[in-house]
Amino acid sequence: ARSTGPLSGTKHTLLHTHIYTAAMTIADPTAVANHSDYTDNVYSGKLDHRAQVCALIEKDGLVPKHVIESEVKWFYDVLGLDDMYFMLEDPATVAGHITSLYGAQLTSMNKTNSVDITFESRREQGAVFIHNSVPGISKTEGPNYEKMIDAEYLDISVPQGAFRVESYRSRGKVSKGLDASLRTYFVNGCDFVNPDPKGDAALDINQVSDRTFLAKATPVVLDLYSAVMAKVLGRTGPVIVSEELPSGSYRLVIGYRQRSTQGYFSALSDLYHYYGLYSSRKYVEQFSNGVTIISLYLDLAKHAKRMAAGSSGSGSSATSSIGSSPVLGATAAPVSIEDGIAQIMREASLLFCIPNTPFQTLFKTGELSVQEAVYGYAGWIFAQHFLNRLGSEYATLVDILDPTDATDMVVLAKLKKRLRQETFTREHILDIMLRHRDLLKDLYLHFAQVHYIHSETPSGISRLADRLKDNLHVSLSMARLQDKAALTKDELLVKIARVTTNDHDAMVMRALLDFNEHVLKTNFYQPTKVALSFRMDPGFLPAIEYPTKPYGLFLVIGNEFRGFHVRFQDVARGGIRIVRSRNAEAFSINQRTLFDENYSLASTQHRKNKDIPEGGSKGTILLNMDAQDKSAVAFEKYVDAVLDLLLTGQSPGIKDRLVDRLGRNEILFFGPDEGTAGFMDWASQHARKRGAPFWKAFTTGKSQTLGGIPHDIYGMTTRSVHQYVLGIIRQLGLDESACTKLQTGGPDGDLGSNEIKISRDRTTAIVDGSGVLCDPKGIDRAEMTRLAHARQMIQHFDVAKLSPEGFRVLVDDFQVTLPDGSLVQDGLSFRNSFHLNKMAAADFFVPCGGRPEAIDINNVGELFEADGSTRFKYVVEGANLFFTQDARLRLEKAGVHLFKDASANKGGVTSSSLEVLAALSFSDEEFGKLMCQQEDGSLPAFYQEYVADVQKAIEANAAR
C-alpha cells in the first residue's frame, strides 16, 4: 500500500500491505438503505480498529501526542469516509493516511498553493484509491485514478474476469484550509453466482450478479437494474435512465455491453462536472451476461448553485461562465439540476461513442463542450483524409509529364506520396485546431444550426419564442445555440482569413467548413447511438485525386475505429472490409491510405459489376491500434450507425427524425470481405430488429439458415478467378500439372483455400498472414489440401513434407538460414516483400490476398530479370487492387498476360446479386420454405438447384 502526502516535499511508503479482514461486515441486513437501493456498509469492528490506529500513530511519533485523539476522531467520525474504507485497510495503512493528512494540513497552513493528497493500495483482485477532490471540478493535474480504473479494470472486464467499483465522497472537508473532500474508490473482482448463464438464466439478475452486489442491493435496485439489463441486451447502444431521489438529488443509471466503449467511467465525470454537478457516490456493477451498469448519484455543486441562484435572479443565460472557478472558467451551469440531468442524459450517448479525444483537456477545463470536442474530433479525422494537399502545381505537372513514360510516372508517384504524407500530418492538423479553438467553436455552431434536432419545438427555432412565452422547457443544447449568432459560410471564410496567420492554418480550418457544407445527414444529435455517422456529398473530393465522382459517401467514426462506405451508383453492392494493423507503423500507413483504398476498391467493384444490375460499392473499417481484437464490436457499431441514416427515427427520445438535406431514402447492400465473413448473419438480423424493410437483402454471404449462399462453401469467387487460369491454359495449350504458381493469400481464406482445392498446378510458393511457404519442387498438394479444408494458415503445414530445397519462414522468425545458404533477418519483412523476391518466380502468379498496391510503379521493376524478362508469364488478379494500373501497363508491355481484378474477381458479386434477387422476390414465408436451411438441417431442392444455376452463370460470365 502506498500513501503519498506532501510532508516537506517527501513521499512516505508504508510497509504493511496485508488486507485487514477481522470482523468485516459487507452488508448489514439491519442497516438503513440509502434511498432504497444499496444498504450501508457497516463495519462492526470499527472501534477496535480505531484503537489500534491510535496506538500505531503514537508509536511512530510523527504526530504530537496531545492531538492524536482529536485527529483520529475527526478522521473516523467527522470526515465522513464510508465504512468500506475501514473494512479494507489495515490499521497500519490507516495510521499512515492520518499522519500524511496531518502533514498536509500543516503544509496548507504555511503555503498559499493547494496540496494534493493521493493514497493507493493494490492487491491481486482489486484496489483502493483515494484523493482530495473539489466537488464538481475535474482535476487536470496529478494522478487520474478514474482513468486508471477505466484502463486497468473496467475496459478489460468480461464475464470471465470482471471488476466492480464502489466510490464515495467524504461528507466532510479534508481541513479548513483545503476546500476539498476525499474521494474513495474501492475496486473488487467479481464473484458471479452463475458465471456462464444460458437461456432464461441470462436475464435473471439473481443468477448473473456478483455475490457482493446481491448482498448489498435492495429489491428496488434489483428491479431497476433488471429492467435496464433487459433493454441493454435488446439493443446495441447504451440505456440511460434517471430518477429523482427524496433528497432532491438524482440517480443516473447507464447500462451498456461490456467492452463496447472505453474510458467511459472517467469521461462521465468530466461530463457532469461540465454542467456543475458532482457525485456523492457512484457504482459500477458487472454481470455475467456481459452487461455493465453505472449508477451516479448527482447534485448541484456549490458554485453551480450560486450561479443558478444568480441566473434566476438576473435572467441571465443558462450558459453563463463560472468566473469563480479556477479550473472550469467556461463551464455551462444549468438553471436547475433537472436541466443538467436532461443535458447529461442527452450527451452521455455522444460520449459513449467517443469517450476520449485529443480535445479532452479542453473539455475537462470547460473551454469546449462535449459536443464541440467530439465535433472537433470528427473534423480532425475528416481533415486527415480529405485536406487537398497536392495543389494546382501537381495538376500542372500531371499535364506536362508523359503517362506512358515509366520514369516520369515513378517521379510523379513519389511526389504524390510525399505531398500527401508530409504536408499535413495528423499532429500538425491537430495543433492548428487546438490553437484556433475559438474558430472551432464558430465552426461547430455553423454545423449545429443545420443538423441539431429541434425536438423542443414543432417546427424548429422559428417557434422557440412562442414556447418561451408559454414557459415551456428548452434544453441546454437549444439555449446554447441561441446564446451566440451563427456565422454564415462567407462570414466564416472572412474570419478564417483574418484570424489565421498562414496558409496552412487557413487550409485546415477551411477543411472543417467544407465538412460542414457537405454533410447531408448525421446521427450526431441522435439521442441514442453507438458511433457517429455522416452521409456526405462527395462534391468536395478533388478531381485531380479522384477523377470519378462517387454517388454516395459515408464517414463512420467509433471509439474503436474509423470507416468509410463509397458507392458509384444508387443501387450498388460490395463487401465491408476490416483493416488491421500489425504495429504502429502499419497503422500509420493504413490510416493515411484508408480512403484511397476504399475509393479504389469501390471503383474496381463498379467495373467488375458489369454483369449484374447493381453498381459497385465498398466499405472499410480501420481498427484503432488499441482495438485490434475488437473487429466484431467495430463492425456492429459501423452497421448500426449506418442504419441510423438509412431508417427514419420513429421513437422520440431514442431514435428521432434526423435533419435530412439529402431528401430521399437510401438502401445500402453489404457483403462479406476480409475479416467480416462471419458477421453477415448478425447484420441482417440487426436490420430486421431495427425495422428495416430490406433486412433480407441487406447483407449477402449469410449462412444457409438465413437463405444465404456462402461464397466460401460454394467457391463462388474462385470459380471466376480460376476460369481465367484455365482459359490461359486452354488457349496456349499448356499442361496445368506442369505449370508452376505463386499464390498470395493462404489456405485459411475463402479465395485461397478454394484455389488450392480446385487447381491442379505445381504450386511453388504460398504467402499468407503467418509467413512464407516455398518449395521449388512443388508444395505437397495433399498437405495443402488438408490445410484448405481445415482453413488453416501455412504455419500448420507439416514441414517434413517439404523437399530438401523447400522452407517455411514465419512472420515471428528471426535469423533464419534458407536451404540455399541465404539469411533471412526478419520474417515479417521477408513475408511482406516475398512476391518481389527472385525465389517467387513462377509461370503463374495468382494473388488471392494481400494489401492494395503491393506492386506499383515504384517496385514493379523488381519483377524483371537483368535480361529484361519478367519473373511471371501469366497473372490473374484474384485479390483486389494488388497491382496499380501503371504497374499493370508496364508488365503487359513486357509481354505478361495479365487479367485484372475487375475482370477476374467478380464471381462473388454475381452470387450476391442473385442471392438478393431471391430475397426480394419471395415473401418471408416463401423465402423460408424455398431458400433457407430447414430445421432438420436439409437444404430445399429449389435452393440447391438455384445455387447450381448461380455457379454456372459465374463460370459462363468468366469464360466469355
CA distance 381 to 358: 11
523 touches 645 (CB < 8 A): yes
Angle between helices 370-386 and 437-451 (to 10 degrees): 100
Burial of 677 per CB tally in 10 Å (0-12, 13-18, 19+): middle
From 618, 637, 655, 741, the catalytic residue: 618
Measured torsion, CA atoms of residues 394, 399, 401, 405, in degrees rounded to the nearest 10? 120
Q: Which of 592, 676, 591 is nearest to 625 (CA)?
A: 591
767 touches 801 (CB < 8 A): no
Say how many residues make up the chain.
960
441 touches 499 (CB < 8 A): no
Phi, psi values for residue 497, rounded to 5°: -65, -35
Whole-number Cα distances in Å, 24 to 28, 99, 285, 640, 943: 10, 24, 21, 47, 66
Q: Which of 155, 166, 148 is nearest to 283 (CA)?
A: 166
Q: Which of 320, 343, 351, 370 is nearest to 475 (CA)?
A: 343
Burial of 52 per CB tally in 10 Å (0-12, 13-18, 19+): middle
Supply the Cα-derived Rg of the chain in whole angstroms: 32
Q: Which of 115, 141, 122, 119 is nearest to 130 (CA)?
A: 119
- Give the bridge partners for 899, in sequence order: 876
Residue with cell 494534493: 116
Number of H helices, E strands in the chain: 35, 28
E strands, 376-526, are 519-522
Cell of 585: 507503423
Cell of 341: 440531468
Whole-number Cα distances in Å, 271 to 21, 317, 349, 524: 37, 20, 11, 17
Buried b (16+ CB within 10 A) or exposed e, 893-922: eeebbbbbbbbbbbbbbbbbbbbbebbeeb
885 touches 590 (CB < 8 A): no
Report the 10 Å Cβ neighbour count for 29: 8
3 state DSSP class of 244: strand
CA distance 565 to 790: 32
Report the 10 Å Cβ neighbour count for 207: 18
346 touches 419 (CB < 8 A): no
CA distance 301 to 318: 15
Q: Which of 625, 626, 563 is nearest to 588 (CA)?
A: 625
Query: Any residues with CB less than 8 A from the CB of 37 and at least 6 apart, and which?
Result: 217, 218, 220, 221, 224, 251, 295
- What is the secondary structure of 149-216 as a DSSP string? HIIIIITT-BTTB-EEEEEEEEEEEEETTEEEEEEEEEEEE--BSSSS--GGGGG-HHHHSBHHHHHH
Does the active-site annotation cover 952? no
Q: Which amino acid, one-letter code, is at 336? A: S
251 touches 218 (CB < 8 A): no
Residues annotated as part of the active site: 618
